[in-house]
Structure 1
């Protein structure tokens, strides 16, 4: 399995074709060794915090696409309602050290539980008794490979729970991401220039795109230190967009109502970026369009969309003089072991 060292932001972003290719085989082997019968026919809860909560939202959305009742949970919602939240749980923590996830999984020893983490040797994996290692390896502190590797593992797990034979579709993902990392460089750079002087940025998407908006907002806050917020597409139309002007930015993910939001906001003078697989919408004044590939499913599309945003953030981080920064406000009570600046 790849080493799990802290590396530079851009190094982590560009190694994702490699990390995803390695993860495909690591996750498949782990799934082959697991008996998932206890998860079938049950409602599934995905539990995560921070970036892992956004991944939980993607997983629940995809599993519902496959016809299975599923819900994402932040730990706050799971300290109570022990037997009424879901009938089985997928616990998400890249490090396996998140205190809150261990807390709420510890309250449910009688339910089927499985962890998704970078590796096998961690407290959460020991607690749940079953783990899928993502094998995502080295990463930056703002989670590039860790987030996309977790999404890959979630997608492959969902396929197995739903008895879908989709591995051949996943095999195409690393090369598609490799192409994206090459062809999207000019548009990502243009988007970064458009956004880098914004006082705040709203990110908008629906379904799994809402999760991508949330993860993108956290990434911008962590890596560029600009206030940002993720919004559900339709909810955004009911008031939140009213504060936008030429000083604030918007990034929309998707192919539907999101396209009109991006175009309308650009027309109002708001710096706007649209990340979409549509090819019929050109960039315009105040609007940069980044074309991403249309992939096999909800999770694969979410991986492509967040990587496009990671590229934008890399340019913004460098322009702000914040290249490879670490967190200023590291909390001391969120992990089960002391934090080290050399680890991810």
Structure 2
């Protein structure tokens, strides 16, 4: 069986696990001898669940550099509902055993498929042309280390093939995770109380920050058993926010239009958490009793920021579960077909 850990243990082990992943990924990248990518080469990420949430960072980073990239739901690709015609496809399965990404990989052109997995010897190895491993560290049922390691893998892969100059940023990710675990522990207690008290939780972000927004929403559903949904910032303004009330909570990641969203709902009693690198003086609702601002350091790269934002979300989940009468790691409903047998 694959090694597992509790949510809190896996969360706190991230600096060590990410250091292992960094070493392992560099080794595997060297062994894979991947060719350099052309300036106009297109990239597809094919994944499910949490792994698909991670793809927003890669797509945003490549898009900002003028490179075409898109993410695909693996089950849609496997069933022919979406067709991938990319120069390079990244097939992500943290376990290496998710059947949908593996089936999707069989529809992709040979020679274009790169796999990412914490357990590269699992069935994913048979369905891709090269597989990059994270190191096989224990992870929690609600993914923690495996999720941030996927973001690290994107940075190192894109650097190796010449798509982005992101190797130095990738090297900083283990220490960024350590800093976040230390620096945001107190703020997470406040955010955790907000999450624990809410009947529903909306999470908003765009670009690379949509990774943390989507993943926090998933952790809320899986771990806190609370209804939650994630939205791209501007999409959220086109109707979805209308259900908010003082029984709900809103978590926002970002530095742009995100800054003015809180002021439209604070007086209605909606508790809002804003995670931002912007100065507090630029936030219209700053100082309101219903607004909690979590300040990010300035100058983070897109991959570093996605990891720091994700760790803040993890810490908040760990704090929130202390106010619930059930454990974080126990799922109520089990599906027999979401993983293939362990080799």
Report the TM-score when normalising by structure 1: 0.91
User: Compared with structure 1, are the counterparts of its residues 155 and 167 closer, same or farther at alpha carbon in structure 2 (3 Å cutoff)?
Assistant: closer
Does the 8 Å CA contact 1:38/1:112 hold for their aligned counterparts? no
User: Which consecutive residues of structure 2, in runs of 5 or more, have no partner in the other structure?
Assistant: none
CA offsets per residue over residues 19-63 of structure 1, 9 Å max, x none? 112221211121122232275452111001000111122222222
Whole-angstrom distance in 1 between the partners of 2:299 and 2:317: 23
Deviation for aligned residue 1:204: 0.2
Whole-angstrom distance in 2 between the partners of 1:256 and 1:291: 14
User: Compared with structure 1, are the counterparts of its residues 254 and 72 closer, same or farther at alpha carbon in structure 2 (3 Å cutoff)?
Assistant: same
Q: What is the DSSP-based 3-state SS (H/G/I as helix, E as strand, rest coil) of the residue aligned with 2:28?
A: helix
Which of 291, 298, 302 is the equivalent residue of 2:302? 298
Q: What is the DSSP-based 3-state SS (H/G/I as helix, E as strand, rest coil) of the residue aligned with 1:311?
A: helix
User: Compared with structure 1, are the counterparts of its residues 83 and 250 closer, same or farther at alpha carbon in structure 2 (3 Å cutoff)?
Assistant: closer
User: Compared with structure 1, are the counterparts of its residues 267 and 7 closer, same or farther at alpha carbon in structure 2 (3 Å cutoff)?
Assistant: same
1:285 maps onto 2:289 in alignment: yes
Deviation for aligned residue 1:13: 1.1
Cross-structure match for 1:21: 19
Cross-structure match for 1:342: none
Whole-angstrom distance in 2 between the partners of 1:269 and 1:96: 44
Whole-angstrom distance in 1 between the partners of 2:183 and 2:82: 47
Whole-angstrom distance in 1 between the partners of 2:169 and 2:41: 26
Does the 8 Å CA contact 1:217/1:230 hold for their aligned counterparts? yes
Which of 9, 33, 36 is the equivalent residue of 2:34? 36
CA offsets per residue over residues 102-150 of structure 1, 9 Å max, x none? 1111122435101000032111122213111122611110000010011
Does the 8 Å CA contact 2:111/2:129 hold for their aligned counterparts? no
Q: What is the DSSP-based 3-state SS (H/G/I as helix, E as strand, rest coil) of the residue aligned with 1:33?
A: helix
User: Compared with structure 1, are the counterparts of its residues 114 and 186 closer, same or farther at alpha carbon in structure 2 (3 Å cutoff)?
Assistant: same
Whole-angstrom distance in 1 between the partners of 2:83 and 2:182: 48
1:244 maps onto 2:248 in alignment: no
User: Which consecutive residues of structure 1, in runs of 5 or more, have no partner in the other structure?
Assistant: 340-344
Whole-angstrom distance in 2 between the partners of 1:167 and 1:42: 20
Cross-structure match for 1:169: 169
Report the TM-score when normalising by structure 2: 0.91
Cross-structure match for 1:215: 215
Whole-angstrom distance in 2 between the partners of 1:176 and 1:212: 15
Whole-angstrom distance in 2 between the partners of 1:123 and 1:257: 43
Which of 285, 305, 311 is the equivalent residue of 1:307? 311
Whole-angstrom distance in 2 between the partners of 1:223 and 1:73: 25
Listed as ranges, the matches of 1:151-162 within 5 Å are: 151-162=151-162
1:333 maps onto 2:332 in alignment: no
Deviation for aligned residue 1:300: 1.5
Cross-structure match for 2:72: 73
Cross-structure match for 2:94: 94
Whole-angstrom distance in 2 between the partners of 1:260 and 1:33: 48
Does the 8 Å CA contact 2:16/2:174 hold for their aligned counterparts? yes
1:317 maps onto 2:321 in alignment: yes
Q: What is the DSSP-based 3-state SS (H/G/I as helix, E as strand, rest coil) of the residue aligned with 1:114?
A: strand
What CA RMSD, in Å, does the superposition of the two structures yield over aligned residues? Answer: 2.2
Listed as ranges, the matches of 1:62-141 within 5 Å are: 62-78=61-77, 79-80=79-80, 85-135=85-135, 137-141=137-141
Does the 8 Å CA contact 2:47/2:72 hold for their aligned counterparts? yes
